[in-house]
Chain A
Amino acid sequence: MNATGIGAAVRRKEDQRFITGKGQYTDDVNRAGQAYAAFVRSPHAHAEIRGIDTSAALAMPGVIAVLTGADLAADKIGGLICGWMIHSKDGSPMKAGAHPALAQGKVRYVGDHVAVVIAETALQARDAAEAVSVDYNVLPAVVDPAKVKGATAVHDVAPDNTVFSWQLGDKAGTDAAFASAAHVTRLDFINNRLVPNAIEPRAAVGDYDAGTDSFTLYTTSQNPHVARLVLSAFIGIAPENKLRVIAPDVGGGFGSKIFIYAEETVCVWAAKRVGRPVKWTADRTEAFLADAHGRDHVTRAELALDAKGKMLGLRVHTIANLGAYLSTFSSSVPTYLYAPLLSGQYDIPAIYAEVDGVYTNTAPVDAYRGAGRPEATFVVERLVEVAAREIGSDPVAFRKKNFVSKFPHQTPVIMNYDVGNYPAAMDKALELADYKGFARRKRESAKAGKLRGLGFSAYIEACGIAPSQAVGSLGAGVGLWESAEVRVNPTGSVEVLTGSHSHGQGHETTFAQLVSDRLGIGIDQVSVVHGDTDKVQFGMGTYGSRSGAVGMSAIVKALDKVIAKGRKVAAYVLEAAESDIEFKDGRFTVAGTDKGLAFGEVALQAYIAHKFSGQELEPGLKEGAFYDPTNFTFPAGVHICELEIDPDTGVARIDRWTAVDDFGTVINPMIVEGQVHGGIAQGVGQALLEGAHYDDEGQLVTASFMDYAMPRAGDLPSYTVGMTVTPCPSNPLGIKGCGEAGAIAAPPAVINAITDALGHEHVAMPATSQEIWRALQRMPTQMAAE
């Protein structure tokens, strides 16, 4: 193996700047003459705006302008969009209410954008924002997604607050399966609402150059080209060729930085309005109020079994809270990113899902790490665990009996699983977790007065999103290919320009490893360029664990073209037939001879062009490629959570965590394991700690790190991470994707472990010590005393 090639645990190239404080995040960007924006936000969940008095604010020190929705409308700036069309069962299109970047007539959640103050300093802007006087007529708010019908309409276009009433699967066939079932397991639960909370808050610097009539937006984005496209084509800031979007170092995204938000839109628009660069950086409270949240499902799920414990059918009804406006990809998350994963790792002949997407007076809800797949996995793995107990089956044997075992496997809900080996991951996880020793550990815990439980989660996800034709047929407004350009310099060093974006994933290292592997050059000779629409021609960005499977596949295609051109150049220089030129380990050689050229020598020859005429071959060595996948990829695995509960306090302490994942080909195992660790932490956070809570009036009562419990080092264990490998057949590298697995797998593993410790009791997420303690009080006394 090449020491810096595919499979090597290379230390990250990008770390030097991060560990020395030299990273360049958006808030570190300062433009000459910049002014600062502060937003006036709605204190009410639902209200009409009767008037906005900006006079006091305008009179305050340093204030340059106060702008409102009327100013946006006057400049013909369009509203924010949702880029995925969902149709209801009756064929009608989803009911998307208008989403102006600054409110026009109405506010619909606490934190909604009413006006922006631009001032000389950030503090002056904040002071003046306090002085903007808004006359509100407060309206009743609806907060509970299960109680939207009959409530005051959030948008007139959806009088019953239902955005869509969508279905997937075969209703009649599934109903028939349930009618013939020997056993049915039913569960009602809430998939708790989460706040993504990347530690870097969102930020934006908008700049306008009157000399060229062009805009630049520095922003915390996972997909700057999509941001430019939306800001240009839909919002109407400027034509694409007059708008440059730069996403520099980005401090975590987890989905929340995919979307095109009001604040970034306003900063770039206002820069021209006031003739100054405009900078805005969210504080954490603003992030809680106005970043898109995640999850928030109310679900009833049923699993039908035959008398032998084989799965016959699965039926789900979910109410998905979409918040007050449809965020950029919100409609796809509880539909096509959710229901097609309801088959899990199991061979289930009939599945039917109904999803009602609803408006409430809460922040918009959109993709958060896993995006639909954690919710689907929670449905499946909780049902499976409870069903196994109900029919008296061992949870491992029950899973294995129902695992998909032949590939490709067509599920009843769109997906065609290409490859996998589910029992192998289960067996490896059992071994790494010392499953055989669990009974002994449980006895030892009992002696100490503690309740020990073990929970499984056998998850599957669909990544590498995705074939453009496929997502187009499902309602996506964009294609989901990826682009790459490989620029070889005359001295043989290489720049790779990618449409993927790294915000912690380590692309500068892993993408360089791929180039090192293919071209036989060191990773120090490779630079990865991303996140700037003036440098990279176009790209779809990073989310859905797609950068390896899709982004790197595009690089492979471009590298193949570079090598093909290199062979032509080498043939001229070596005076051999092109068909006789071989490329291996960084050298072009004439087959069967010792004549050859190093990659760098061929690069130089390509640029000096002395050995061939321009009519025979174009000079230079630069190739680009677009790669459109042929299928989703299907990472899968088994996570095992073992924990101990103190029955006196209800505190659950995770003792062991075992993860065995099949991500296909792994480029850098160190980075992949790190992704697994982080995903597990977020999943454990959802299961034990995190929950965004609005009160009945729509006030977010968990709007700071003092009120919203983020997982801290002391809440988490060390993890045992293992892997199995079945290479993905649908992309040239065999990569499946790893970024979301932990967050998808973890929540049901935790809850299954808790219910295993307690007996049959269901426990809601987050299973805080209070929640667990209450569950203990509901249980028969002998169990609690055990």
Chain B
Amino acid sequence: MTTVSMTVNGKAVSADIEPRTLLVQFLRENLRLTGTHVGCDTSQCGACVVHLDGQAVKSCTVLALSCDGATVGTIEGLASDGALHPMQEAFREHHGLQCGFCTPGMIMSAVDIVARCGHHLDEQTIREELEGNICRCTGYHNIVKAIAAGAEAMGASSPMQHAAE
């Protein structure tokens, strides 16, 4: 067992873990942050996407120990003061989810796409950027619409704050 410490959703956390523990296992099993999901074992589906030091990563492919001292953001930390993040709101408004299982990863990826590609996203860009996230329910149509709208809303609501994320 080895001790790992990091900041998750703004809170300092620490635990003794097996060295082979994956970040997603640490989040789900040790911290009981079960919003981050596991949908595959080959880093393909993206249900496990979280933000590690501000960048989207697949937490099924990151060792928790390698995140020692890092800052991690999960779906549970996205809404602030009870108000939904604009991207969360956009997924609801545009029916960008059905069973909801891929949704946390989709939303975390979407926020990252906006951070990298800006607030004005065309359909082709969104579809290409979603290469690493699989949804079996929606056929992506409404996810694409939700991300485009969420990106615009992020720009309109507080451009400085979200650009910094």
A associates with B: yes
Pick the residue among B74, B75, B91, B142 that contacts A677 (CB under 8 A): B142
On whether A197 and B127 interact (CB within 8 A), knowing A705-B40, A719-B141, the answer reads: no
Among B64-72, B132-140, B157-165, the stretch in contact with A = B132-140
Residues in B neighbouring A471, C-beta threshold 8 A = none
CB distance from A501 to the nearest CB of B (A): 12
> Does A710 make an interface contact (CB < 8 A)?
yes
For residue B18, CB closer than 8 A to chain A, the reply is: yes
- Closest Cβ–Cβ distance, residue B142 to chain A (whole Å): 6
Q: Choose among B32, B78, B134 the residue with the greatest number of A CB atoms under 10 Å from its CB.
A: B134
Within 8 A of B (CB), among A15-60: 15-25, 27-28, 30
Interface centre among A22, A24, A199 (most CB of B within 10 A): A199
The answer, yes or no, to whether A233 is at the interface (CB within 8 Å) is no
B39 nearest CB across to chain A (Å)? 4
Distance in angstroms from A548 CB to nearest chain B CB is 15
Residue pairs across A and B with Cβ atoms less than 8 A apart, 12 shown, are A16-B92, A18-B100, A21-B78, A21-B104, A249-B99, A252-B136, A678-B138, A679-B139, A712-B134, A712-B140, A718-B123, A719-B139
Q: Which residue from chain B places its CB closest to the CB of A502 in the assembled complex?
A: B99
Complex partner residue of A712 from B74, B78, B95, B130, CB under 8 angstroms: B130
Q: Could you tell me if A713 and B127 are in contact, using CB atoms closer than 8 angstroms?
A: yes
Instruction: Report yes or no: B34 in contact with A28, Cβ–Cβ below 8 A.
Output: yes
CB contact under 8 A between A504 and B139, given known A15-B92, A283-B41: no
Q: Is A630 an interface residue (CB 8 A)?
A: no
Tell me the chain B residues, 108-136 only, with Cβ under 8 Å from chain A: 123, 126-128, 130-131, 133-136
Q: Which A residue sits closest to B21, measured CB to CB?
A: A123
State whether the Cβ of A12 lies closer than 8 Å to any Cβ in chain B: yes
Chain B residues lying within 8 Å of A675, measured Cβ to Cβ, are 98
The answer to whether B100 touches A504 (Cβ under 8 A) is: yes
A74 at the interface (CB under 8 A from B): no
Q: Shortest distance in angstroms between B116's beta carbon and chain A's nearest beta carbon?
A: 16
**Complex-state Cα separation, A30 to B137, whole angstroms:** 26
Give me the interface of B with A, judged by CB distance under 8 Å: 18, 20, 28, 32-42, 44-45, 47, 74-76, 78-79, 84, 88, 91-93, 95, 97-104, 107, 123, 126-128, 130-131, 133-144
Q: Known pairs A19-B91, A281-B38. 7 more at Cβ < 8 A?
A: A21-B35, A123-B20, A252-B136, A674-B95, A677-B138, A705-B40, A713-B127
* Closest residue of B by beta carbon distance from A684: B139
| Any B CB within 8 A of the CB of A505 | yes
B91 with A199: CB separation less than 8 A? no
Contacts of B76 in A (CB 8 A): 20-22
Cβ-defined contact, A713 with B99, below 8 A: no
Q: Which residues of B contact A706 (CB under 8 A)?
A: 42, 44
| Assembled-state Cα–Cα distance A718/B94 (Å) | 14
Q: Classify the interface of chain B: helix, strand, loop or mixed.
A: loop
By the criterion CB–CB under 8 Å, are A713 and B137 in contact?
no
Q: What's the Cα separation between A713 and B138 when bound, in Å?
A: 10
Residues of B within 8 A of A123 (CB): 18, 20
**A383–B49 alpha-carbon span in the complex (Å):** 45
- Is B40's CB under 8 angstroms from A284's CB? yes
CB distance from A643 to the nearest CB of B (A): 16
Give the residues in chain A near B138, CB-CB below 8 Å: 674, 677-678, 681
User: Given A14-B100, A15-B91, A22-B35, does the pair A710, B136 have CB atoms closer than 8 Å?
Assistant: yes
Contact: A11 with B136, CB < 8 Å? no
Q: Are A12 and B92 in contact (CB under 8 A)?
A: yes
The DSSP consensus for interface residues of chain A is: loop
- Listed from nearest, the 6 A-B pairs whose CB atoms lie closest are A21-B35, A251-B101, A18-B100, A504-B99, A681-B139, A677-B139
Contact status A200-B91, CB under 8 Å? no
* B133 surroundings in chain A (CB, below 8 A): 712-713
Question: Do A20 and B134 have beta carbons less than 8 Å apart?
Answer: no
Minimum CB distance partner of B97 in chain A: A18
Say whether, besides A714-B127, A718-B123, A681 and B140 are in contact (CB < 8 Å).
yes
Q: A22 contacts which chain B residues (CB < 8 A)?
A: 35, 76
A503 within 8 A of B: yes
A574 contacts the other chain (Cβ, under 8 Å)?
no
If the complex has contacts A200-B99, A680-B139, A705-B134, are A20 and B75 also in contact, measured as CB distance less than 8 A? Answer: yes
Q: How far is the CA of A716 from the CA of B140 in the complex (A)?
A: 8
Are the CB atoms of B34 and A199 closer together than 8 Å?
no
Q: Please indicate the chain A residues that have their CB under 8 angstroms from the CB of B40 in the complex.
A: 283-284, 704-705
> Which residues from chain A contact B144 at a C-beta distance below 8 Å?
713, 718
Decide: A713 and B140 in contact? CB cutoff 8 A: yes
Residues of B within 8 A of A15 (CB): 91-92, 97, 100
B79 lies within 8 A of A20 (CB): yes
Known contacts A18-B100, A713-B131; is-contact A199 B39 (Cβ 8 Å) = yes
- Which residue in chain A gives the minimum CB-CB distance to B39? A199
* A250 at interface, CB cutoff 8 A: yes
CB distance from B20 to the nearest CB of A (A): 7
CB distance from B35 to the nearest CB of A (A): 2
Query: Which of A21, A197, A254 contacts B75, CB < 8 Å?
Result: A21
Q: Do B130 and A199 touch across chains, with their CB atoms under 8 A apart?
A: no
Tell whether A284 pairs with B42 under 8 Å between CB atoms, given A11-B93, A199-B135, A713-B127: yes
In angstroms, Cα B79 to Cα A22, docked, is 12
Q: Considering only CB atoms, which chain A residue lies closest to B130 in the complex?
A: A713
Contact A198 B141 (CB under 8 A): no
Q: Is the CB of A198 within 8 A of B136?
A: yes
Residues on the A chain within 8 Å of B141, using CB: 677, 716, 718-719
- Do A712 and B102 touch across chains, with their CB atoms under 8 A apart? no
Q: How far is the CA of A16 from the CA of B35 in the complex (A)?
A: 12
Contacts of A24 in B (CB 8 A): 34
Rounded to whole angstroms, the CA-CA distance of A504 and B126 in the bound complex is 23
Q: How far is the CB of A171 from chain B (nearest CB, A)?
A: 40
Judge whether B92 and A250 touch: CB under 8 Å: no
Residues on B with C-beta less than 8 A from A16 are 92
Q: Which of B41, B135, B136 has the most chain A CB atoms closer than 10 A to its own CB?
A: B136
A679–B138 alpha-carbon span in the complex (Å): 8
Q: Is A201's beta carbon under 8 Å from chain B?
A: yes
**A713–B91 alpha-carbon span in the complex (Å):** 16
Is B41's CB under 8 angstroms from A285's CB?
yes
Measured in the bound complex, the distance between the Cα atoms of B138 and A671 in whole Å is 10
Which A residues are in CB contact (< 8 Å) with B127? 713-714, 716
A682 on interface, CB distance cutoff 8 Å? yes
Q: Closest CB of chain A to B17's CB: distance in Å?
A: 11
Instruction: Decide yes or no whether A506 CB sits under 8 A from chain B.
Output: yes
In angstroms, Cα B134 to Cα A671, docked, is 20
Least CB distance, A489 to chain B, in whole angstroms: 27
Contacts of B126 in A (CB 8 A): 713
With both chains docked as a complex, state the minimum distance between the C-beta of B160 and any C-beta of chain A, in angstroms: 24
Inter-chain CA distance A92–B18, complex, in Å, is 58
Q: How far is the CB of B122 from chain A (nearest CB, A)?
A: 12
Determine the chain B residues whose CB is within 8 A of the CB of A197 once the complex forms: 136
For residue A670, CB closer than 8 A to chain B, the reply is yes
Find residues 386-421 in chain A having any chain B CB closer than 8 Å to their own CB. Answer: none
Taking CB atoms, residues of chain B closer than 8 Å to A710 are 44, 134, 136
Find chain B residues with CB under 8 A from A711 CB: 139
Q: A742 at the A/B interface (Cβ < 8 Å)?
A: yes
Asked if residues B95 and A12 are in contact (CB atoms below 8 Å), the reply is: yes
Interchain CB contact (< 8 A) of B35 among A12, A23, A504: A23
B136 adjacent to A19 (CB under 8 Å): no
Question: Is B34's CB under 8 angstroms from A21's CB?
Answer: yes
Q: List residues of chain B with CB within 8 A of the CB of A677.
A: 138-142
CA distance A197 to B102 in the complex (A): 12
Whether the pair A252, B98 counts as a contact (CB closer than 8 A) is: yes
Q: B58 to nearest A CB, angstroms?
A: 12
Nearest CB of chain A from residue B97's CB, rounded to whole Å: 6
A200 touching B37, Cβ below 8 Å: yes
Are the C-beta atoms of A674 and B99 separated by less than 8 Å?
Answer: no
The residue in chain B whose Cβ has the minimal distance to the Cβ of A705 is B44
| Shortest beta-carbon distance from A156 to chain B in Å | 36
**Which residues of A sit under 8 angstroms from B42, Cβ to Cβ?**
284, 704-706
Choice from A21, A284, A504, A714 contacting B130 with Cβ under 8 Å? A714
